[in-house]
Structure formats: C-alpha cells, structure tokens
Amino acid sequence: MKTCVLIGKPNVGKTLLLLNLAKFLGNKTIKLHFMDADGNSMAKVYDIEVAKRYLCGRQPYSTMGLQWIRMNAGCQYIELVDTTGLIGDAVEPTTLRKAMAQTISFIKNASLLLHIIDATSLPSQPLPVDDIDVVLSHIFGGNDNYVMLINKIDLVDRADDILGKGAKAFNVNSDKIICVSALNKAGFKGIIDYINAQKG
C-alpha cells in the first residue's frame, strides 16, 4: 500500500485536503487513525463534514501528531497521512517540538511526499534560504516521489502565474507542481492521477 504523506507549514490546508480528498474519492465517513508524538494511538469513525469542523482551523497547530486514512484511490488502496505543521523557528512548547520531530522522522516512510504550499503567501521576491519550504523543496524536490501542491488557488487571481511563481520561488520543476484548492476540490483529479502513476 502506498503511503502518501502531506507535509507543509501550519495552516496551509493539509487537514482539509486529506478530508476533501477522501470525499472526492466517494467517502462520506472515514476511519481516522491518530498517533501522537509519544506513540499513543487511537482511531475514530467520522462523518467527513463533522471531521472538518473538529480538525481544520484557522488557528495553527490544530494537528499535533500523525493522522491518517486508508482508502481506495481508484486502482489501489492508499494510506494518506496528515502531519504536524513545520516551522523553522525555535518553538515552545516541547509538545510542539516533539510533534514536529515525529513528522520529520515519519517522512522516511513516505512512498509519496506531498508538500503543500499556500498560494496566498507565494513571494514575488526569492525566499530566504532557511525558509522551511525552501529547505524541504531543496532536500526532496529532486526526488521522483515528491510533488508540490500549491493550495488555496481559489483565493488568488486567475491571471497570476501561480505555477511559474512556485517553480521560481522553490527552484522546483513545474511538472512537479499541481495547483489545487482543498476547499473546492480543484486539481484533485491531478493528485489522484499522480498518486496512481507513481510506482512504489
């Protein structure tokens, strides 16, 4: 089973993408598995709309740990894993640092890495080299199993060259970028096609 791991800064839309992708694939309810940074795990069945209200939020760090769904993505079962938002700055409290460490160490299990960027914060100037998204795209962007999802395209001007801007900002080939909206499910067919096309 392919393990597809969503990573990115807090509030970029990882959790909403997980839930709406499950919905896009025909699910109304999901079994969501959780594991916190101390290894405590549980699973809970949710109506997807209820899960959105509980698990997605404007406040950062609604997700502190790993949470995942196993589901049929057309031609195969996949495991889609949502993670703790990563930031580069020194942070308190310890629980957040532990949750970020758990996410970073989990990345090695990914058959596919889906790195989410917020389209509304795409810079027109080059980003600092220590920006966490620059670091992640630099480390993983050349790998076959990496794709960048530029999310929230519903919030940006259609005329804006988001794909070109993303490719330039992160020095990633534009064929490794998919523009999506986790809110209105735009670009989701592209994500599923990408997942199904990848071997592993």
Ligand X SMILES: Nc1nc2c(ncn2[C@@H]2O[C@H](COP(=O)(O)OP(=O)(O)O)[C@@H](O)[C@H]2O)c(=O)[nH]1
Q: Which residues of this chain interact with Mg ion, rule CB under 5 A? A: 14-15, 62-63
Instruction: Give CA–CA dist 152/117, Å, rounded.
Output: 9
Starting at the edge strand that comes first in sequence, how are the strands of the sheet with 29-35 ordered?
41-47, 29-35, 66-72, 77-82, 2-8, 112-118, 146-151, 177-179
CB 16, min distance to Mg ion, A: 8
| Shortest distance in whole angstroms from residue 154 CB to Mg ion | 18
The entry of Mg ion, ligand X, none that residue 154 binds, CB within 5 to 8 Å by partner kind: ligand X
Residue type, 141: G
Give kind and range of the element (H or E) at residue 169: helix 162-170
Query: How many binding residues for ligand X (CB under 6 A)?
Result: 21
Min separation Cβ 75 and ligand X, Å:
26
SS3 183: coil
The separation between CA 91 and the C-alpha centre of its own chain, rounded to angstroms, equals: 21
Q: Which of Mg ion, ligand X, none is residue 79 near (CB under 5 to 8 Å by kind)? A: none
**Which is nearer to ligand X, 20 or 112 (by Cβ)?**
20
Query: Which of ligand X, Mg ion, none has residue 172 at its interface (CB below 5 to 8 Å by kind)?
Result: none
* Interacting residues toward ligand X by CB under 6 A: 8, 10-16, 56-58, 62-63, 85, 151-152, 154-155, 181-183
